[in-house]
């Protein structure tokens, strides 16, 4: 596999990047995708561990042989136990879809043609400058009216999962600016992939 650069300087982005890469490999038919932490546990990023846990991907690391403080070889590769992550609900997925252009094709979403950073859908993430703007977009997609309270309910649950980033709108300081986090993108990708299979 080619060498992939991950953006570790952007919090949680490597989770979404690695999940996208894992799902691309699964989409082309690799059944047993494994993430190998070649430097051992002390070099492992927590984001890799979370990505492997979300996708139920095997993760291994080297059990090194030492002579004093020097690594002289490897005894074996050890498999880490990953944590089970609950997937988001269909309604939560539907809400997270609001942050992406709606005209993507499911079958080609994980195409080998694109890396995470140059994917045409992932590169155009929407931001909403008010709850009202978000409510109107969701109403258009669902085809029925929603209250501001129901939108707040979605937001609260998704915020508890760290899938949304909410900050004061710089224009009026009253309304909130709402966008999807990289962890939200990670859950979106996993849920999207499960719809393919």
pLDDT digits (tens, 9 = 90+) for 18-51: 999 999 999 988 888 888 776 655 556 788 888 9
Other Cβ atoms less than 10 A from the Cβ of 12: the count is 19
Residue 29 lies inside a defined structural domain of this protein: yes
Two tokens, residue 14 = 């490597």
Residue 105 dihedral angles phi and psi, to the nearest 5°: -105, 130
Residue 6 lies inside a defined structural domain of this protein: no
Residue 3 lies inside a defined structural domain of this protein: no
**Predicted local distance difference test score (pLDDT) of residue 6:** 67
pLDDT at position 162 over 60: yes
Residue 7 lies inside a defined structural domain of this protein: no
CA 91/CA 7 separation, integer angstroms? 30
**Beta strand pairing status for 127-128 and 58-67?**
unpaired
Q: How many domains does the chain have?
A: 1
Residue 143 lies inside a defined structural domain of this protein: yes
CA 15/CA 47 separation, integer angstroms? 5
Q: Are 108 and 69 in contact (CB under 8 A)?
A: no
pLDDT tens-digit map of 86-122: 888 998 999 999 999 888 888 889 988 989 999 999 9
Q: What sign for the dihedral angle of Cα 75, 62, 52, 155? A: positive
Burial class (CB in 10 A: 0-12, 13-18, 19+), 124: exposed
Whole-angstrom CA distances from 14 to 1, 31, 45, 54 are 17, 22, 9, 13
pLDDT at position 64 over 90: no
Q: What sign for the dihedral angle of Cα 4, 187, 184, 82? A: negative
Residue 1 lies inside a defined structural domain of this protein: no
- For 30, the domain range is 13-196
Residue owning tokens 């051992």 = 40
Strands ordered across the beta sheet of 58-67:
34-37, 58-67, 70-79
pLDDT at position 71 over 80: no
Average predicted confidence (pLDDT) for the chain: 84
Residue 44, SS3 per DSSP: coil
């Amino acid at each position: 596999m080619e060498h992939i650069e991950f953006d570790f300087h952007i919090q949680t982005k490597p989770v979404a990047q690695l999940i996208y890469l894992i799902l691309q490999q699964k989409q082309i038919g690799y059944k047993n995708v494994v993430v190998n932490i070649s430097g051992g546990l002390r070099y492992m990023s927590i984001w890799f561990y979370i990505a492997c846990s979300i996708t139920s991907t095997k993760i291994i690391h080297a059990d090194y042989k030492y002579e004093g403080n020097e690594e002289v070889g490897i005894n074996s590769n050890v498999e880490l136990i990953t944590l089970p992550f609950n997937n988001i609900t269909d309604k939560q997925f539907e809400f997270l879809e609001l942050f992406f252009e709606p005209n993507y094709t499911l079958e080609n979403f994980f195409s080998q043609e694109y890396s995470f950073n140059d994917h045409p859908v992932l590169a155009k993430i929407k931001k909403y400058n008010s709850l009202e703007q978000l409510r109107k977009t969701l109403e258009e997609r669902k085809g029925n009216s929603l209250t501001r309270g129901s939108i707040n309910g979605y937001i609260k649950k998704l915020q508890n999962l760290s899938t949304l980033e909410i900050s004061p709108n710089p224009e009026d300081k009253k309304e909130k600016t709402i966008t999807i986090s990289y962890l939200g993108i990670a859950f979106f990708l996993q849920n999207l992939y499960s719809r393919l299979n």
